[in-house]
Chain A
Amino acid sequence: MKGLIIKDFLNMKRYLRNVLIILVVYFGIFIPSHNFNVLIGVVMIMCSMLVITSISYDDAAKWDKFALTMPLTKRDIVLAKYMLALVFIFGGALITIIVLFATGLVIDTIPLMEILSLVAVMFALGLIFESLILPLIFKYGVERARLLMILCLLVPSGLVVLGATAFGDKISPQAEQFLPLAAIVFAVIIFYISYRISRRIYDYKDF
């Protein structure tokens, strides 16, 4: 499985470099305007899309059929993609935290604790987005699943906004502190369930 992840990183080396450049531009635009919600949202969306790009590269090369002739199981291939998704989203979250905290040392108006909670919630949303889209991609392929991608992005985000509007006032400040952590735990569980579903879909997939 290590070989599969190395393959994805080598394949996307140039692409990832471009993504990093775009991130630098985003940081440059949004940090001075203190528009952290949009910044973190955009970074997480970009990072969530990376694993999908890697799958579309694999499809174009007909890699999966070839990989299954190697000492790799179907399970390894699915697990490698979920690990990759996790690495990209976690990487995005980590970069955001590092950059914003580093900037916070210079500009003291940056609300660091608020940012930490926001990154945690976005990280959870990223995982939930992957949990929804990956089984669809394994089932229908990237091209057909692309139509559902917007839905997978909007539904969880919409639910969070709805939830915040409906229950925002009713949650005590103490409970609110634990919300980001609860969101991550919930997302990890969904992510694992999604992995099990994808594994099953992939087992019956024909190449």
Chain B
Amino acid sequence: MDAILKVCGLAKNYGDFQLKDVSFELAPGSIMGFIGENGAGKSTTIKAILNIISRDGGSVEIFGMDSQSDDKQIKEQIGVVFEECCFHDVFSTDDINKIMANIYCSWDANLFKKYCHDFKLPDKKRVKEYSRGMKMKLSIAAALSHRPRLLILDEATSGLDPVVREEMLDIFDDFVNDEQHAILLSSHITSDLDKISGSITFIHNGEIIFSKGRIDLLSQLRVLRCDEADFVSLQKLYAHHMLRYRKGTQGYDVLVENFEMIKSQRPELIIDSVNIEEIMLFYARGKRLRGN
């Protein structure tokens, strides 16, 4: 099936910061974790995808349509949640229902009420009286009530307590049970992505470092722990498989691919599995070997 979201060569130049040739594809029925440290370009990419900011190059296709020429049609089918709740403080759920019904053609007022009820959002209280978790649930209820096909969540789970985060992740999981749906979830809380994402796209300094299936990524990569002498000898043999390294007080941690080969030839070496956070740290803070 065609990709729900296809980003191709996206560029944006702010002078001191650039998005460079950002490209990735989001398949139907999947959740993509969009990771990177603060300031790496996650929000800029999302804003450029949504035409909130102008872009300097590249193209974005959503549901097979061009994001700029079919902007309104596309946005009828997208739900977006930002880190902060963007509804005004004085609004009640009824107010939001009235406003959104006049913005989205496909707004389902009863569905919104059902979400508010399911999320235990009080209909008498105003947004300013909501807790952070309630605000986030409200934003998600609003993002889902026009039955979107694509959800874009920009740091939406950051700052939530683990219980609410878990609830949110269940909702996202339910959402992509429909094969026509997909989620782009930007986060720097990588443990959330370990739980639900099908693929991971990693952005660093405005450039995509990789965009791969999570299982593939975790099965291909390992962290090799060694002392300086081993590190020097390994470089001569396996330099091409040593992606990044970090020097610590205990020796060297090296992010490696093709670890089976290294393991078979050097069985005494410690090779551990790696999680998304460690991979992110290797790319963001680790060093490359010379020549790689």
Give residues in A with beta carbon < 8 Å to B.
Answer: 2-4, 6-7, 10-11, 13-14, 57-58, 60-63, 65-66, 68-73, 203-204, 206-207
Residue of A nearest to B82 (CB): A66
Given contacts A7-B99, A207-B53, contact A69 B80 (CB under 8 A): yes
Please tell me if the beta carbons of B52 and A71 are within 8 angstroms of each other in the complex: no
CB < 8 Å: which of B73, B91, B102 contacts A11? B91
A204 cross-chain contacts in B, Cβ below 8 A: 54
List which B85-139 residues lie within 8 A (CB) of chain A.
86-91, 95, 98-105
B212: interface (CB < 8 Å): no
Q: Chain B nearest CB: distance from A111 CB in Å?
A: 41
Q: Are B82 and A14 in contact (CB under 8 A)?
A: no
Cβ–Cβ < 8 Å partners of A57 in chain B: 88
Q: Are B103 and A70 in contact (CB under 8 A)?
A: yes
Q: Which of B52, B54, B88, B89 contacts A69 (CB 8 A)?
A: B52
Contact of B89 among A61, A71, A73 (CB under 8 A): A61
B72 beta carbon closer than 8 Å to chain A: yes
Verify A68–B98 contact, CB threshold 8 A.
no
Residues of A within 8 A of B78 (CB): 69
- How far does the Cβ of B131 sit from chain A's closest Cβ, in whole Å? 17
Task: Give the dominant DSSP class at A's interface.
Answer: helix
Query: B84 within 8 Å of A by Cβ?
Result: yes
Centre residue among B47, B73, B100, B103 by max chain A CB count within 10 A: B103
The answer on a CB contact under 8 Å between B104 and A71 is yes
In the bound complex, residues from chain B placing their C-beta under 8 Å from that of A6 are 98-99, 102
| Interface mask (B146-158 → A, CB under 8 Å = 1, otherwise 0) | 0000001000000
B220 located at the interface, meaning its Cβ lies under 8 Å from any Cβ of chain A in the complex:
no
Nearest chain B CB to A155 CB, angstrom units: 32
Interface range on chain B (Cβ under 8 Å from partner): 20 to 34
Contact between chains at A62 and B102 (CB < 8 Å) = no
* Assembled-state Cα–Cα distance A63/B88 (Å): 8
A13 CA / B91 CA spacing, docked (Å)? 10
Contacts of B288 in A (CB 8 A): none
- B53 surroundings in chain A (CB, below 8 A): 206-207
Q: List 12 A-B contacts (CB under 8 A).
A: A6-B99, A10-B90, A10-B95, A61-B86, A61-B87, A62-B82, A62-B86, A63-B86, A71-B72, A72-B75, A72-B103, A206-B53
Report Cα–Cα, A11/B73, bound state, in Å: 27
Docked complex Cα distance between A14 and B126 (Å): 13
Closest Cβ of chain B to A69, distance in Å, is 4
- The answer for the CA separation of A179 and B52 in the assembled complex, in Å, is 44
CA distance A108 to B95 in the complex (A): 45
| B interface list, Cβ under 8 A from A | 47, 50-54, 71-73, 75-76, 78, 80, 82, 84, 86-91, 95, 98-105, 152
Report the minimal beta-carbon distance from A13 to chain B, rounded to whole angstroms: 8
Do A11 and B90 touch (CB < 8 A)? yes
Cα distance, A182 to B31, chains bound together (Å) = 60
Is the beta-carbon distance between A71 and B103 smaller than 8 angstroms? yes
Residue of B nearest to A11 (CB): B88
Question: Are B86 and A65 closer than 8 Å at their CB atoms?
Answer: yes
Asked if B91 contacts A10 (CB within 8 A), the reply is yes
With both beta carbons as reference points, the residue of chain B lying nearest to A72 in the complex is identified as B103
Q: Which of A4, A63, A65 has the most CB of B within 10 A?
A: A65
Q: Are the CB atoms of A207 and B52 closer together than 8 Å?
A: yes
Q: A3-B99, A3-B103, A207-B53 are in contact. Are A73 and B88 (CB under 8 A)?
A: no
Which residue of B is nearest A206, CB measured?
B53
Complexed CA–CA distance, A4 and B87 (Å): 12
Give Cα A177 to B103, complex, Å. 44
Contact present for A65 and B82 (CB under 8 Å): yes
Asked if A73 contacts B72 (CB within 8 A), the reply is yes
A156 CB → nearest B CB, Å: 31
Known: A11-B91, A71-B105. A207 touches B47 (CB 8 A): yes
Q: Which residues of B contact A7 (CB under 8 A)?
A: 88, 99
Smallest CB–CB gap between B190 and chain A, Å?
Answer: 25
Residue of A at shortest CB range from B105? A71
Query: Is the beta-carbon distance between B76 and A71 smaller than 8 angstroms?
Result: yes
Contact A69 B75 (CB under 8 A): yes
- B237 CB to closest chain A CB, in angstroms? 49
> In the complex, A206 Cα to B72 Cα: how many Å?
19
A57–B73 alpha-carbon span in the complex (Å): 28
With a cutoff of 8 Å between Cβ atoms, the chain B residues found around residue A72 in the complex are 72, 75, 103
Tell me, in angstroms, the Cα distance from A204 to B71 when the chains sit together: 17
